Chains A and B, each alone.
Chain A
Amino acid sequence: MSTSETDFSEELAARRKKGIPPGLWVACPGCKKAIFRKEIDKRLGVCPECDFHYYVSAKTRLEQLLDEGTFVECDNNLLPVDPLTFADQKPYVERLKAEQKKTGLTDAVITGTGMIRARRVAIGVTDSAFIMGSMGSVVGERLARLVERAEVQKLPLIIVSASGGGARMHEGILSLMQMAKVSAALARFDQAGGLFISVLTNPTMGGVAASFASLGDVIIAEPKALIGFAGPRTIEATIRMKLPNDFQTSEFLLEHGYIDRIVRRPNLKSEIARIIDYCHG
C-alpha cells in the first residue's frame, strides 16, 4: 500500500545488496556457477553465463553510459537535512552520515550533463545503495533542477532509476511531495517539447516508480529488474496468494504494456543514442 516498501524476494535482495562480490571468482546468484570476476567486469556487470545484471553504482553507471570525461556534475551542493528529527532504531542524521560514508555519495542521486556518443544530455542516476535509492528532498530537488536545466538548455533528459525504497520515510510527507514536484517539472518539460528517456533498473519501486520513472516518453528497462508500485510482500499479505514467478519484472511490465523496450546493459548506451536521434536529431 505504501510507496516506501522495501521488500524483495530473497534472491533480488541478495542481488541488490551484494553487487559484484569481491574475490577472483564469484558465485553468480543467477546461474549459481562460479564465474571469473574479470569476465563480469568486462561485460559492465553482467554474468557471461546467464546474463544476470549485477548492481552497479551510480558513478559506474555514468561511466558506462557517458563518453569519457564529459560528465559535469550539478547541484552536489544540495545536502540532506533532518526536517522531522526522525529516529527509528537509529537517528536519521546518523543514518545519513553512515550512508554517505558507505557510498561516497551525499544523497541517492547524481545529476549533471554529459555526452552520449557525442550527443549532449542532461542525466540523473539514482543509486540503490544509498537508503535503498529512496527519494527525499535532495533527490527531488536535484531531479527537478535537472529537468529545468534540460528544458532551458534544450537537452534530452535521461534518468536511470535504481530505487527500491520509493519515497523516503525518514523525511515523511516532504518525500511524498517530491513525487508531485518532479512530475510537475516533467509536465512543463513535456509542454516545451523535451524528450525524456526513463531507464528502469533493478529495483524501481513505490514512489519512484509512481512518479518520474513512469513518465518517460520512452521507457527502457534492463532485463529482469524488479519494477512495481507495491512491494511483493505487501501484496502477498493483502491478497493472501502466492505471486506469479515473473511478477513485477521488466518482462512482466513489457507484456502488460508499461515499458517500451528491454535492453541489456551492454547495449544501453547505443540504444539511448538511437532513440535520441529519432526524436531529437
Chain B
Amino acid sequence: MLDYLPFEQPIADIEQQIESLKKLPEPTAESMQKLRHLRKQLADTTRQIYDNLTPWQTVQVARHKNRPHTVDYLSLVFDEFVELHGDKFFRDDRAMRVGFAKLDGRKVLVVGHQKGRNFKDRTENFFGCAHPEGYRKSMSKMRLAAKYHLPIITFIDTPGAYPGIGAEERGQAYVIAENMFEMSRLKTPIVCIVIGEGGSGGALGIGVGDRVAMLQHAYYSVISPEGCAGILWKSGEHAEKAATALKFTSKYLKEFQIVDDVIEEPLGGAHRDHHQTAARIKSYLVKSMKELTACKIDEMLANRYSKFRQMGRYLESSLADEEQTNSTAQFNGAIG
C-alpha cells in the first residue's frame, strides 16, 4: 500500500473506490464500466496533480519514503555491483556507496548517496548525510576509475553533508572542496544524476561531471528550504515560502543551465514505478556514455571546464571601465 502525501488525497480516494469495486464478488457490466471510468479518472487526476506540483510538494516527492534510492538503481539499472568499502582513513561510511558495476555490458564505477528505507537503515546511513570518510572513499575510487578509464556515474540524493563534531574534525569542508577540484579534471567521463534531494555542498561533492541530469521531481538547492527559512524568515515554519523563493526545481535548473537534462518520471512520480524510472535512467546513461566515450579526452575536459565556468548570472558593465564612456551593459546569459 502506498503512503499518500497530503496533496495526493484525491488520488487516494479514487484508488480506494477502485479497490472496493475490485472486491465485489460478482462483477457486473455496470461495475466494469465504472471501473474503467475510475481508472481513467485516476490517471487524469494524477496527471493534473503532478503536472502542477508546487516547489514544496516537489520537496515532499523528492523525500518520499518509497522513492527509489541508489541501491534500488544499483539492482535495477546495472547487471552487477561490486561494492568497494574502504576509505583507508577512518571507516566505511554507509551514506556513500561506491563500487564497480556493469551498465549494458560497459564497465563503470558507481558512486551514490544512500538514505535507507526503514528506520534501522536510515540510522546506519545517517539519513543519506555523508561524513568526510564517505567523500574520501568516493574520491579514492574515482581516481582508481580514471586510472583504468572506467566512466563514473554518480547518484545524488542527500539532504546535505553531515553536520557534526566528528565531521568537522575530519575535514568536511576540505573533502568537499577536494572532490570538486579533482572531479573537474579526472580523465574519464563523469555523469551525475540528482535522483532525489540535491542538498547543497554535500550534493555538489559528487556533482561535478560532463553531464549533470536530474529526475523531474528531484530538487537541487544551495540550502534546504527549512534551513533557508530559519535564517531569512527566522523560522523553519516558512519552509514553503523558502522552497518557492529558491527556484530549485528541475524546470528552473534547466533554465539556469545548471543541469543538462531532466529525466521525466513515470506518472505520479518515481515512487509509483521503480522499474520504469530505472529504465529511463538506464537509457539516459547508455546514451550519455556513448556520446562521451566518442569524445577525445582533452576535448571532454575542456567542455567540462567551460560548462561549470559559464555558470552564474551577473551584469558586465562597461561603465565601470575607465577608458570607455559608452553606457552599454550586457547580461551574461539570458535571465529567465
Q: Are A215 and B312 in contact (CB under 8 A)?
A: no
B176 at the interface (CB under 8 A from A): yes
Known: A1-B200, A84-B247. A184 touches B165 (CB 8 A): no
Contact with B along A243-271 (1 / 0, CB 8 A): 11001100010001110000000000000
- Determine which of B180, B200, B317, B321 lies in contact with A167 in the assembled complex, contact meaning CB atoms within 8 Å: B200
Smallest beta-carbon distance A244→chain B, Å: 7
Smallest beta-carbon distance B204→chain A, Å: 6
Contact with A along B284-314 (1 / 0, CB 8 A): 0000000000000000000011001101111
Known: A211-B180, A215-B181. A256 touches B169 (CB 8 A): yes
Q: Are B207 and A2 in contact (CB under 8 A)?
A: no
Contact with A along B157-179 (1 / 0, CB 8 A): 00111111101111111101110
Which stretch, A49-57, A115-123, A186-194, touches the partner chain B?
A: A186-194
Specify which chain A residues have a CB less than 8 angstroms from the CB of B220 in the assembled complex: 173, 176
Q: Are A230 and B172 in contact (CB under 8 A)?
A: yes
Give residues 171-198 of A contacting B (CB, 8 Å). 171-181, 183-188, 190-191
Smallest beta-carbon distance A196→chain B, Å: 11
Specify which chain A residues have a CB less than 8 angstroms from the CB of B331 in the assembled complex: 81
Q: Are B231 and A1 in contact (CB under 8 A)?
A: no
A279 at the interface (CB under 8 A from B): no
Q: How large is the interface on A (under 10, 10 to 19, 20 to 34, 35 or more residues)?
A: 35 or more
Q: Are A77 and B316 in contact (CB under 8 A)?
A: yes
Most B CB within 10 A of own CB, among A1, A169, A207, A231:
A1
Specify which chain B residues have a CB less than 8 angstroms from the CB of A190 in the assembled complex: 181
A111 at the interface (CB under 8 A from B): no
Smallest beta-carbon distance A125→chain B, Å: 18
CA distance A79 to B318 in the complex (A): 11
- Determine which of B178, B252, B308, B332 lies in contact with A181 in the assembled complex, contact meaning CB atoms within 8 Å: B308
Q: Are B129 and A1 in contact (CB under 8 A)?
A: yes
B185 at the interface (CB under 8 A from A): yes
Which stretch, B46-54, B100-108, B221-229, touches the partner chain A?
A: B221-229
Residue of B with least CB distance to A90: B232
Specify which chain B residues have a CB less than 8 angstroms from the CB of A211 in the assembled complex: 176-177, 180
Q: Are A137 and B208 in contact (CB under 8 A)?
A: no
A70 at the interface (CB under 8 A from B): no
Which stretch, A26-34, A58-66, A233-241, touches the partner chain B?
A: A233-241
Specify which chain B residues have a CB less than 8 angstroms from the CB of A130 in the assembled complex: none
B43 at the interface (CB under 8 A from A): no
Q: Are A3 and B185 in contact (CB under 8 A)?
A: no
Q: Are A2 and B200 in contact (CB under 8 A)?
A: yes
Known: A173-B256, A206-B201, A244-B165. A181 touches B245 (CB 8 A): no
Residue of A with least CB distance to B234: A89
Q: Are A230 and B168 in contact (CB under 8 A)?
A: yes
Q: Are B317 and A187 in contact (CB under 8 A)?
A: no
Q: A79-B320, A229-B168 are in contact. List 16 more A-B contacts (CB 8 A).
A: A2-B223, A6-B231, A81-B313, A137-B313, A140-B311, A172-B246, A172-B247, A178-B312, A183-B208, A209-B173, A214-B178, A229-B172, A230-B164, A238-B163, A239-B165, A252-B169
A residues touching B (Cβ–Cβ < 8 Å)?
1-7, 76-81, 83-84, 86-89, 136-138, 140-141, 144, 167-169, 171-181, 183-188, 190-191, 206-207, 209-215, 227-231, 234-235, 238-239, 241, 243-244, 247-248, 252, 256-258
Q: List 28 A-B contacts (CB under 8 A).
A: A1-B159, A2-B223, A4-B222, A4-B227, A5-B227, A6-B231, A76-B320, A77-B320, A81-B314, A83-B256, A88-B232, A88-B233, A138-B312, A169-B228, A169-B232, A172-B246, A173-B221, A177-B204, A183-B184, A184-B304, A210-B176, A211-B176, A212-B177, A215-B181, A230-B164, A239-B165, A244-B165, A256-B169
